[in-house]
A and B are shown apart, each in its own frame.
Chain A
């Protein structure tokens, strides 16, 4: 069972959060895109996405961002997300495997704020999404 971080004193500089393997199925992508009103085929149909010049149907960027948020909350359930900035460097294609890594890069014990670097990469270890989150703990 994974250890949950309960307070800032539990956090170590350079600590890596448990790797998160997000559900990148086309079904999940399509359902999420529909929920947020993005009905375009580029999120729900590989063939039609290819007709648009993509490598396949894409995962919505905000879903990947939301996965990072969930990853942090699983590690530190008591934390409050203060900000998250994600850069979409390249498309995340549905039905392919990706992993999400996060590393603690700053701990401000006075303000009780932690900064975390975020990376989402494919099986070739190519970065697809990167970013930074600040959490209160």
Chain B
């Protein structure tokens, strides 16, 4: 059963399947900051010299699709986690580019059968191709059993 996971890895890992532009609006990032309890002026004061989006804001930016269009359907996916890496601030007013690829595919077998984990990574760049951040979404899919 490992072979099918290896085939998926070979076919899909590290290949961009979506590119999307995002206009970062100050009103949205400030609201995000307020709602999540960020009180530092650089996140909530648009006049602050280092005004920027809160670091986890990129986690709210979704690509046009979560998985490649031809990716096989194993079952219903659940949100198993989020990870964000920050390399440079995301500045409100800027347009940034998000490029999506599958970063990890692996399986774990438990009492209720096999669970497939898929990590979709969106890499965010500014217009000068500076790498600003990565946002990983971890989806877990309980594989359908035969007869279900």
Contact = CB atoms under 8 A, between A and B. Distances in A.
A37 B136 CA distance: 18
Contacts of B62: 37
The residue in A37, A61, A66, A87 that gathers the most chain B C-beta atoms within 10 A of its C-beta is A66
A28 B86 CA distance: 26
A28 to B, nearest CB: 7
A45 interface: no
Given A87-B80, A88-B80, A70 B31 contact: no
Given A83-B85, A84-B83, A69 B35 contact: no
A35 B35 contact: yes
Nearest to A73: B40
Interface in B4-49: 28, 31-32, 35-40
A87 B139 CA distance: 11
A23 B81 contact: no
Interface of B: 28, 31-32, 35-40, 54-57, 59-60, 62, 79-86, 136, 138
B123 to A, nearest CB: 14
Nearest to A58: B79
A105 B120 CA distance: 28
Nearest to A36: B60
Interface stretch (A74-82, A107-115, A119-127): A74-82
A86 interface: yes
B39 A61 contact: no
A84 B36 contact: no
Which of the listed residues B38, B59, B80, B138 has the most CB atoms from chain A within 10 Å of its own CB? B59
B35 A86 contact: no
B86 A83 contact: yes
B40 A77 contact: yes
B55 A69 contact: yes
A95 interface: no
B84 A83 contact: yes
Interface string A18-30: 0010110000100
A16 interface: no
A86 B81 contact: yes
B84 A63 contact: no
B81 A85 contact: yes
Contact of B81 (A28, A36, A61): A61
A54 to B, nearest CB: 11
Nearest to A22: B37
B54 A86 contact: no
